[in-house]
Amino acid sequence: MVTQQAETQNNRLENLKNFTMSQNKPRVIKDYDKLDPAIQEQIKLVYPAGFSDHLIYYFDKDGKNVSALPFETDDKYYLIRMTLSEAEQIIEDDEDYDDDGFLKDSAREEYEDKYADMDYLAGADEEEEPEDEPEEDDGDDDDY
């Protein structure tokens, strides 16, 4: 079960990485607890194994080093402000996550059904096509 959750997380993270941040898309920097509950639920689908390993670090307009969780929808690019300890505490306090910090199957299934029409979440569980293996070089150096 943990392997399936890790695989699902990897697929969702790969989908998230494949999004390109549009210059026309508004950027929102917000605290997790001030987000709309629907956005919080969608974030849980993208990060079913918690947030702490996915924080990014940047300097704000005042030159202060801050951390945030990236999340992109069709309409907005979010940076959800949180420290490492806050990220861990959010998961610990959230009833949708189990004692090991993984999104419970019941919550995952509910949110997948609820947000099935969201293009940026669609296909997160689908298996990716295996990449072609690079051809081995026979060492003859005729490639030049």
* Digit-coded pLDDT (tens) for 32-62: 999 999 999 999 999 999 999 999 999 988 9
pLDDT digits (tens, 9 = 90+) for 76-114: 999 999 999 999 999 999 999 999 999 999 999 999 999
Pairing between β-strand 65-72 and β-strand 56-59 as defined by DSSP bridges:
antiparallel
Q: What is the pLDDT of residue 52?
A: 95
Question: Of 19-28, 50-59, 114-123, which range is least confident?
Answer: 19-28
pTM of this prediction exceeds 0.75? no
Beta strands per DSSP E along the chain: 27-31, 56-59, 65-72, 77-81
8-17, 65-74, 132-141 — which one is most confidently predicted on average?
A: 65-74
